[in-house]
Structure 1
Amino acid sequence: MSWWTTDETHDPARTSWVEGTDTHPDFPIQNLPLGLFAPAGQEARIGIAIGAMILDLRACVAAGLLEADIHRPCQSDSVNSLLGLASGHRRALRRRISALLSDPAYRDLVSPLLHRASDCTLHVPARIGDYTDFYVGIHHANNVGKQFRPDNPLLPNYKYVPIGYHGRASSICASGVPLRRPSGQSRTPDRDTPSFGPTARLDYELELGVWIGAGNALGAPIPIREAGDHIAGFCLLNDWSARDFQAWEYQPLGPFLAKNFHSTISPWIVTAEAMAPFRIAQPARPEGDPAPLPHLLDTADQNHGALALTLEAHLLTARMREEGLAAIRLSHGPATSMYWTVQQIVAHHASNGCNLNPGDLLGTGTISAPTRDGFGSLMELSVGGREPITLPNGETRSFVEDGDEIILRARAHADGFVAIGLGECRAMVMPAH
């Protein structure tokens, strides 16, 4: 089956006996994302989110509710083995779980295997072997490029190759883990030499995370027509950035300490199978832009490779918390603002024979819409700090301050289907050591 094919698990008429699930904004029964959770005082295990509850897959195995060929991956302490399954096996597991949670006949048997999510700790779901961050949000690339190269914001390679760099997997944290303001080297325009200290230009980046499923052997590229089969799921990603460090260090080898201190992800992997109804055509490139080279061009990918996702970034300051105010939305925009599809970045990553493995994570780079209300970073919203934004309570922000909390959200919509979400991706900034 194709990665955009729907089945009975996507039926909008399907409901769950789990209370409150059918109206849950992120995790109705049509979603069923994978994650790693720990009930209070217990070890972490794999679960599936259903409304405000989590279904324990290890307990499902012990209760004899799952097929034998799925037992070992479901009892692991990470989701890597599940991600590495062929899509047909993941689809079979999805169908079985959907049946267990929709058919009232299973209520008495399955209810004891559910945990309230608010009582559990959510972890990074996979052992991330490698992390690569791309730069496929063309409006973000244009906005940032104009601040440094007003007459030539995009470098010549941008429209021919998905730009990316290898990031740091060890500092990727689950939503809710506080971020410590990093220290590093920077140089202000009025000085000839750099200084060392806490970043003064901390920023967030609104990104989509792409989880790799079945990998490829070293030296064996992934053809673009098969790239979708290697994508296991999606999450939200905030690739925190120290813009002052970045400006000083990124030449000639690119980001280093400006990026590797902390990245936040939403803890649930919304599977490629769950996203099938929300696959849409990749927007046509502007007239005059080059067509992708043949190894990145596939008709099916152009017809089904984009995602009908709306992404949002919110800010909650320390003062807003003290005053009992809700977070404000800084921006919102569509994932179709990506110049390259996620299949193209996977195919490109492996085009030289680089081996990808189950649980590897790719970031799309900051996704910004064409207009200011959709800019995906404070670097853009404040024009590099030159035009601070004013919040409804009178505070201003050029960059993220201590005590601020950034909250990312995303929902997928399509006519005739139930909307699903990716869950929250949030972290609060703590002062530097």
Structure 2
Amino acid sequence: MSFIADKQTLDDLSLLGQFNPASVFSLFNQVKTRGAEKLLDEMFLHPLSDADSINNRSAMFRYFGDHPVDFPFNGRQLERMEAYLDEGNEGSYLLALWKIGKKKIAEVLVKDEAYQLEVSGIQSSLRVVSGCIALLRQLEKEGRDQDEPWREWGALVSEVARDPRLKGSPDDQHSMMEHVRFHHLLTGVYRRQLKALLTLIYQLDVYIAVATVAKSRRFSYATALPKEKNIMEAWGVRHPWLEKAVTNTLSFRGDNNVLFLTGANMAGKSTLMKSAGILLYLAHMGFPVAATEMRFSVLDGIYSSVNVPDDLNKGYSHFYAEVLRVKKVAEAVAGGQSLFIIFDELFKGTNVKDAYDATLAVTTAFAGFSNCFFIISTHIFEAGHALMEKESSIRFEFLPTVMKNHVPQYTYRLQRGITEDRQGMIIIENEGILDML
């Protein structure tokens, strides 16, 4: 079963987007090869769903953070090598001789470029093999344990490098017969190993790049626990794009599974909720997280409702779109899935009375699903007071506002309780809007 996160959630949290410089993907996309970028994209699209797989991937990143190495490969050489191996599959020396010989004759007679392209593929492949040998020596100096994460890649490198027939500088002026020999070895004898080697090189690129980002931004690695543990605890939580942000602690358990969040506009509620969602998503990928420490039980997925759009084509108002979003989440929760749910300003598209009643009823109902964790924010603090009287599984916290000379200041630090801060009119007056009118 794969981890669930629909398009609404991915958009709310700005998780994906190769061409979106503000996406979480862009934050980690410091890889040097297209193959690694494709692999990184796959990792973002498919978070992991069992604790062992998550912890094993985290261990890979952590290793390269503790043992930094330079990625010695040229992206264009790797692409040329990959294309070369895909084009050629000569199983015997005679077939290799026939193919290379035919292209050499065409070069001499009609100045065809196919032979030089073949030579370029051979040279690129030899350079990559040479780079693998150099990197393997660097890694072997760093560690001696047999369970180090690069050992599978190192075994393939050693298998290819041991063959004396592959010796020789790729920059040398080789004869046609030498090119035939290299072509036979690369596309016939070692084609399977070299294609597997390319895959592992792209993995190394991702591991090195992500570990470097984690170290530079002081991220940590979460510990994944089995689903039945039913907890999520994180300290020093911040948004991954904010390096000097105020941090907070988040904690959820089966008997304390709802965080009811209040605070004035601009107090930081949305940023905190997005930070929590990104934190949990990255943790399920096995990626470093923007927290000082985290441990969590594996969940089935995450849903958010932060920027729910109306739909003019279907005639949906903003409120009806909100209702449909809550319905979709309710169906998933009632279906027995273990989920992390974010609702930012429940039912803000309707009047205060209906919003109060709906927030009270929906929050009470969701609190009964102890296998799911919820963050629900609202401006309607009266609903919080009503919930406080009857629900023990709900934790009430707020982001405070401090007034200084009629100007609101925000601490961005969670406090226990429910706030009644309302600074909307003060902000409007400070901007001089009423004076303009």
Report 1 or 2 for greater relative contact order, CA contacts < 8 Å, sequence distance ≥ 6: 1
- In terms of fraction of residues, the more helix-rich structure is 2
TM range (shorter): under 0.3
Structure number with higher strand proportion:
1
Larger radius of gyration: 2
- TM-score by length of structure 2 reads 0.22
